[in-house]
């Protein structure tokens, strides 16, 4: 079945780049997403990428998509302590609308000063 | 602020009881989605409504039901509650075909 995998933890120093990786299974997914969840809050959409794109850049965020390997990554440049949060990768469910998403378990990013 | 409002923020109840969670979508959004977030299962899509009608179903138990009212707010009803139903329940809304905007969730604790 459909599944999204990501590592559970990542620790970086302030000012370094963070790279969060994700693998997915549904090659027919139209959209792939990155969401951020801070403690006590809901999920905030960071960025998304169409499946026919290889890369998308948005300020400090760079998303890379390797469709052949079904691998998605999120790079955060110049990571700040405010970036500490849980980051979720998600793919759209086969045949579903853009809101029917399968999420990974989330990667907890810790940024040390 | 996403514009999606969920009430209550916290709910503590006993096994076997029934609760109702409420969601007000962003102004103009016709689609409402419910998600459950638990430690073991992660985030699971439950159900989607679009303009009052059920559009898609995910991993929603038969003990759970939802509806969307003419004013577009939605309610998620959870009955015969079990300890394992303890979780964060998120509502999200969207304009059809666009990205989701999540509320801050309702934390349900079943004792």
pLDDT by residue (tens digit) across A38-76? Answer: 988 889 999 999 888 899 999 999 999 999 999 999 999
Using the structure block, give the residue that is written with the tokens 């965020």: A61
- Which residues in B72-109 are b (16+ Cβ under 10 Å) and which e? bebbbebeebeeebbbbbbbbbbeeeebbbbbbbbbbe
- HSE-up of residue A13 (Cα within 13 Å, Cβ side): 1
Tokens of A34: 């990155």
pLDDT at A94 over 70: no
pLDDT at A1 over 60: no
Interface check for B2 against chain A (CB to CB < 8 A): the answer is: yes
| Spatial CB neighbours of A38, under 8 Å, sequence gap ≥ 6 | A44, A85
- Across the interface, of A41, A96, A104, the residue whose CB is closest to B104 is A41
Residues of A contacting chain B (CB within 8 angstroms): 33, 35, 40-45, 48, 88, 90, 93, 96-106
With beta carbons under 8 A apart, name residues in chain A contacting B30.
none
With beta carbons under 8 A apart, name residues in chain A contacting B43.
43, 88, 90, 103, 106
Please report the pLDDT score of residue B97 as a whole number: 63
Span A28-45, mean pLDDT?
Answer: 88
Decide if B78 contacts B21 (C-beta within 8 A).
yes
Of A97-111, B15-29, B63-77, the least confident: A97-111
State the pLDDT confidence band at A95, using cuts at 50, 70 and 90.
low
State the pLDDT confidence band at A35, using cuts at 50, 70 and 90.
very high
| Closest approach of A37 to chain B, Cα-based (Å) | 10
Interface check for B25 against chain A (CB to CB < 8 A): the answer is: no
- Across the interface, of B2, B33, B105, the residue whose CB is closest to A99 is B33
């Amino acid at each position: 079945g459909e599944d999204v995998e990501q590592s559970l933890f990542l620790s970086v120093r302030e000012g370094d780049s963070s790279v969060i990786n994700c693998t997915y299974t549904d090659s027919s997914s139209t959209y792939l997403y990155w969401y951020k969840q801070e403690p006590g809050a809901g999920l905030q959409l960071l960025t998304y990428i169409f499946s026919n794109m290889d890369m998308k850049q948005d300020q400090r965020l760079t998303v890379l998509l390797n469709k052949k390997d079904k691998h998605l990554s999120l790079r955060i440049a110049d990571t700040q302590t405010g970036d500490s949060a849980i980051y979720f990768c998600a793919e759209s469910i086969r045949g579903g609308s853009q809101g029917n998403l399968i999420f990974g378990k989330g990667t907890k990013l810790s940024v040390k000063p | 602020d996403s514009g999606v409002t969920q009430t209550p923020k916290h709910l503590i109840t006993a096994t076997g009881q029934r609760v109702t969670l409420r969601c007000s979508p962003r102004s103009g959004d016709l689609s409402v989605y419910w998600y459950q977030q638990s430690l073991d299962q992660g985030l699971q899509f439950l159900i989607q409504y679009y303009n009052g009608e059920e559009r898609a179903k995910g991993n929603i138990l038969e003990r759970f039901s939802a509806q969307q009212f003419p004013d577009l707010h939605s309610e998620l009803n959870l009955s015969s509650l079990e300890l394992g139903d303890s979780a964060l329940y998120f509502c999200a809304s969207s304009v059809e075909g666009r990205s989701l905007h999540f509320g801050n969730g309702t934390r349900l604790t079943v004792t």
